[in-house]
Homo-oligomer: A and B are copies of this chain.
Amino acid sequence: MPDASVLAPVDVAAFDAKLAASRAASRVLATATTQQKDAALEAIAASIETAADRIVPANDLDLANGRENGLSQGLLDRLRLDETRLISLAAAVREVVGLTDPVGESVRGRALPNGLRIDQVRVPLGVVGAIYEARPNVTVDIAALALKSGNAAVLRGGSAAENTNRVLVELLQDAVESAGLPRGSVQTVDEFGRDGARALMRARGAVDVLIPRGSAGLIETVVTESTVPVIETGAGVVHVFLDESADESWAVDIVHNAKVQRPSVCNALETLLVHEAAADRLLAPVLGRLRQAGVTIHGDDAVRARFADAVPADDEDWATEYMSLDLAVRVVRDIDEAMDHIRTYSTHHTESIITNDLRNAERFLAEVDSAVVMVNASTRFTDGGEFGFGAEVGISTQKLHARGPMGLPELTSTKWLVRGSGQSRA
């Protein structure tokens, strides 16, 4: 149960009651059929489409408050839910309907010599908590994914989107109730403010897993302070290594795609490493193409010897997730120095080698310790949708439970079912 010290006494009771309702709902959801859950998801999609007249004004209020509080244009854009975005949001919910329900799936099973039949099957985690920042679409995305995988969701969506989220959660609750499932299946603790987020982090036993989504600072806080198990999604200091034998057109296209296509996301390229024997051949076309796209190059001495206008790069550049049209570039002696660099600075998200050398490709795949390791492909492919998982829960950069793009199975646990006929242990 939550740590009383972080909430006022009057709030402790209200908070506990909410989590108790989540637990009760999770029990119903755990044995709900796929048909029931899909019906609730259809009701949610329909409700988002038809309730624009309630959602948009609430969102306008949040946007007005955001402007007053000096939110950046980028944040205001992420906060905005207009009619077009509501239609895509409803479509995303319907996509979840189309995904395979992981609950009940057999993971492994066998008959033991004594006749016991043991089966490991997927079950929901139970109550899934999410702490995120002002992106109201995440409210619907996570609720939909949690529902499909049989989990109750408890959401803390950030004060900047409070009005939008309040309306969305009411709509979600009405929709799941209309499909015969408990309103407690989706709840928000936004009304408790920051204290609610902290209480969620201490709600060990009441919340089964906590997923932080957002800035590095938010994730670090949740990881450090939470006594509830956390799935860390996160930062990507992503590398591409151009090996000596890299194909020039692949190198140019992949580096451009990885850096430029969407620089603000975690699978975008941040540091390019180039084999010194390929530097003369590849740096000009690769960096030339990037500069046409407006990319600022931060280079080491070897890079600046060729591109005098590159910004000098230092240790801080190697460790930075720019999330912008900036790229750190370093010339390395060989694949070993490239992998040493990656070992030192990588956040273990995604790294790719561009090579035609089989031995180096296999060494890179085997030795680089990241969630996703690629040969001759753009790092932008590290994505639940691209991997065929449908909607996106997040990309786990931790090693326990889930690693890389998270699909619905990653929102489940397992349970062993043992069927006997009177067996006792010898």
Q: Is A416 a contact of B376 with CB atoms below 8 Å?
A: no
- Complex Cα spacing A126 to B371, Å: 13
Task: Tell me the bound Cα distance from A388 to B118 in angstroms.
Answer: 10
Instruction: Check A110–B388 contact: CB distance below 8 A.
Output: yes
Assess whether A47 is interfacial by the CB under 8 Å rule.
Answer: no
The answer to whether A373 and B223 touch across the interface, beta carbons within 8 angstroms, is no
In the docked arrangement, what's the CA distance between A415 and B348, Å?
10
Check if A116 sits within 8 Å of B377, measured CB to CB: yes
Q: Is the CB of B422 within 8 A of A249?
A: yes
Q: Quick one: which of A124-161 are within 8 Å of B by CB?
A: 125-126
Is A292 an interface residue when CB atoms closer than 8 A count as contact?
Answer: no
CA distance A120 to B382 in the complex (A): 13
Supposing A118-B387, A403-B414, A418-B372 touch, asked if A425 and B247 sit within 8 A by C-beta, the answer is: no
A96 contacts the other chain (CB 8 A): no
Which residues of the other chain, B, contact A253 by a CB distance below 8 angstroms? Answer: 422, 424
Q: How far is the CA of A368 from the CA of B261 in the complex (A)?
A: 48
Which B residue sits closest to A367, measured CB to CB?
Answer: B31
- Which of B116, B208, B370 is close to A399, meaning CB atoms less than 8 Å apart? B208
B372 A415 Cβ-Cβ under 8 A: yes
A398 contacts partner chain B, Cβ-Cβ < 8 Å:
yes
Contact A400 B425 (CB under 8 A): no
CB under 8 Å from chain B, chain A span 373-408: 373-378, 380-382, 386-388, 398-401, 403-405
**A112 contacts the other chain (CB 8 A):** yes
Residues B423 and A381 in contact, CB atoms below 8 Å apart: yes
User: Which residues on B sit within 8 Å (CB–CB) of A373?
Assistant: 415-418
Contact with B along A14-55 (1 / 0, CB 8 A): 000000000000010011000000000000000000000000
Each complex incorporates copies of this chain amounting to: 2
Cα of A116 to Cα of B375 in the assembled complex, Å: 10
Q: Is the CB of A126 within 8 A of B369?
A: yes
- Report the Cα distance A204→B230, complex, angstroms: 13
Contact A422 B376, beta carbon cutoff 8 Å = yes
**A69 at interface, CB cutoff 8 A:** no
Contact B413 A261 (CB under 8 A): no
Complex Cα distance, B3 from A271, in Å, reads 29
Which of B208, B247, B386 is close to A422, meaning CB atoms less than 8 Å apart? B247
A254 interfacial contact with B, CB 8 Å? yes
- Whether a CB of chain B sits under 8 angstroms from the CB of A257 is yes
C-alpha gap A120/B403 in the complex (Å): 10
- Which of B365, B367, B382, B421 is the one whose CB lies under 8 Å from A27? B367
Alpha-carbon distance A424/B252, docked complex (angstroms)? 10
Closest to A251 in B: B422
Q: Which residues in B have their C-beta under 8 angstroms from that of A209?
A: 399-400
* Pick from B27, B377, B419: contact of A423, CB under 8 Å: B377
Q: A229 near B: Cβ within 8 Å?
A: yes
> Closest approach, in angstroms, between the C-beta of A218 and any C-beta of chain B?
16
Flag if A116 contacts B381 (CB, 8 Å).
yes
Complex interface: chain B residues within 8 A of A400 (CB): 125, 208-209, 229, 231, 400-401, 413
CA distance A425 to B423 in the complex (A): 56
Q: Is the CB of A369 within 8 A of B404?
A: no
Partner among B27, B372, B414, B419 whose Cβ is within 8 Å of the Cβ of A375: B419
- A420 within 8 Å of B (CB atoms): yes
Give the 3 A-B residue pairs with the shortest CB-CB distance, closest first.
Answer: A377-B420, A257-B424, A399-B413
11 inter-chain pairs at a CB distance below 8 angstroms, sorted by A residue, are: A30-B367, A31-B367, A112-B388, A229-B229, A249-B422, A372-B418, A376-B420, A378-B420, A378-B425, A381-B418, A381-B423
